[in-house]
Structures are given as structure tokens and as C-alpha cells.
Amino acid sequence: MESPRSDERITRRLRDALVADLVVRELDEEGEYWLTAKLEPRDWTRHLARQLGIAGTDGPGGIHDTLLVIVREVDRLIGRLRPTDELEEVCKELAHEATKNLQPLEVYATLLAGPSRWRQKKIEAGCRVASLSGQLRPILERELANELRRVLGEWAKLDFRKLGEQREEAIKAARANAGAGAKATASTSPRQPQTARDRADRLKMRPFQPPGRT
């Protein structure tokens, strides 16, 4: 498959879609990092794989290249995505385009890396080894289309222009919930004196390490 160009870029809308869940869910340094981080082609496919439930994009299975086909097509379409029945057909076409030229090893590797339910699918009894790829490819195409419909349906509902605001609202809500929980605990439990160990434990912070940086 065609390798990404060194100067290849994706739209801001797709960049935000790939990390939106982390920006809103991870309310510490990690979420702040993904809000503005520059993403490279390997990042594009890793984040898409993560949202699709695919475990990793590295290795001999060609998963990175398979997902890169989808990234490029979605980048062209993302401004027109709507959570409608038409999305189902779009996802079927994306899955077909991404899997139609895969080698048998790539088909099998992608199925193994996907959600566990992919590996529970059954093939015809008596299938010969030589015919195995023909049995597995339609399964991969169908299941990939289903996962794409779920993910792209979620993206179609997002307002990417307000991603930073949504993060701030999530942080405020988390602080409010934490404060309410602390008050409830204080009103029902006697306050315990803080020990030196308690103070030490509070200071043990695991700083977020951005990917690929040491």
C-alpha cells in the first residue's frame, strides 16, 4: 500500500475527532496534551484503532496501512458526516475499500487484533485451508463496517468547535462531584488524622509522558 508522505496532513476536524474522547475524558495533563498535540500518520491510525477496539497497529499484519486507507477517505468525508441511515452505506464502502486488497495474513492479523467478538464468528464447516481467506475476509469487512458506523456516528454528533469548552465543563463537573462527595463523607465519618504516609501518598504523582518522548 501507499506510504504516507512526509508532508501529509489531515483536517483539524478529523484530528480533533481522533482524540476527542481523550480530551474530554482524561482531565489531567494527558487530556490537555491531546487537545493541541500535532498528530503524525502513525498517531492517526493508533487513535482510530483505539476507538475501533483494535489492539495496536504495528507488526506484520499491515493494520496501520489498512486503517490509513480509512483515515484518508474519512478526512475527505468528515465535514459531511451525519448520524443517518446513509452512514451505514458509507461505512460499508470504507470497510470494503480498506480490506479488498489485503493478503490472507493481513486479514487474519486484523481479525485477531480486533474486538473479542470478531474472533467468535464462525466459518463454514469443512472449510479448507486454501479457502480460509475467502471465509475470513467477508467477516472482517462486515465487522469493520459495524465498528466504523459506531465511531463515525459518534463523531457526527460532536461539535468540534467547542472541544476545549467541553473539556472545561467536564473538569468543572468532576470538581463539583468531588467536592460534593467530600462533604458527604465528612458529614458521615469522623475525620481521621493525616499521617506522614498519607501525605507522602498524596505527593506521588505519575506525570503524563507524551508518546514518543523520553
Instruction: Dump pLDDT digits (tens) for 30-72.
Output: 888 998 899 999 999 999 999 999 998 887 789 999 999 999 9
Sequence spans of domains, the chain: 12-162
Task: Note the pTM of the prediction, 2 decimals.
Answer: 0.77
The CA distance from 147 to 88, in Å, is 10
Q: What is the pLDDT of residue 208?
A: 61
Q: Would the pLDDT of 202 be above 50?
A: no
CB atoms within 10 A of CB 56: 13
The CA distance from 32 to 84, in Å, is 32
CB atoms within 10 A of CB 34: 26
Please choose, from the candidates 101, 8, 98, 6, the residue with its C-alpha nearest in 3D space to the C-alpha of residue 54.
98
3-state secondary structure the chain: CCCCCCCCCCCHHHHHHHHHHHHHHCCCHHHHHHHHCCCCHHHHHHHHHHHHCCCCCCCCCCHHHHHHHHHHHHHHHHHHCCCCCHHHHHHHHHHHHHHCCCCHHHHHHHHHHCCHHHHHCCCCCCCCHHHHHHHHHHHHHHHHHHHHHHHHHHHHCCCHHHHHHHHHHHHHHHHHHHHHHHHHHHHHCCCCCCCHHHHHHHHCCCCCCCCCCC
| Residues shown for the chain | 214
- Over residues 117-157, the pLDDT tens digits come to 999 998 887 888 788 888 999 999 999 999 999 999 999 88
- Which of 11-20, 120-129, 139-148, 189-198 is the least confident region? 189-198
User: Angle 118-84-149 (CA atoms, 0-180°, nearest 5)?
Assistant: 15
Report which of residues 191 and 75 the model is more confident about: 75
Q: What is the pLDDT of residue 158?
A: 83
